[in-house]
Amino acid sequence: METHEHSHNFEQRTKYVVFLTAITMVVEIGIGFTTNSMSLLADGLHMGSHVLAIRHR
C-alpha cells in the first residue's frame, strides 16, 4: 500500500521534472529563434508537448 508521504514524494519529483522540461523548452525556443535553428525550434516545441502531457496526467 502506498502511503501519503510516498505519493507526495512522487508528486514533488513530477513537478520538478515538469519545471526542468519547461525551462529547457523555453531556452531551446529562445536560442532557436536567435540562431535561426529549425532543429532547436522543433525540439523546443516537442518538449512543450511533453510538458503538457506530464502536467495533465
When pLDDT is averaged across residues 2-30 and rounded to a whole number, the result is 87
Q: Where are the alpha helices (DSSP H) in the chain?
A: 4-35, 38-55
CA pair distance 5, 18, nearest whole angstrom = 20
Q: Are 51 and 21 in contact (CB under 8 A)?
A: yes
> What is the per-residue pLDDT across 30-54, written as a single tens digit (0 to 9) for each?
999 999 999 999 999 999 999 999 8
Question: pTM surpassing 0.85?
Answer: no
State CA 27 to chain mean position distance. 11
Range of the domain at 39: 4-55
Count how many domains the chain has.
1
Q: Three-state DSSP class for 36?
A: coil
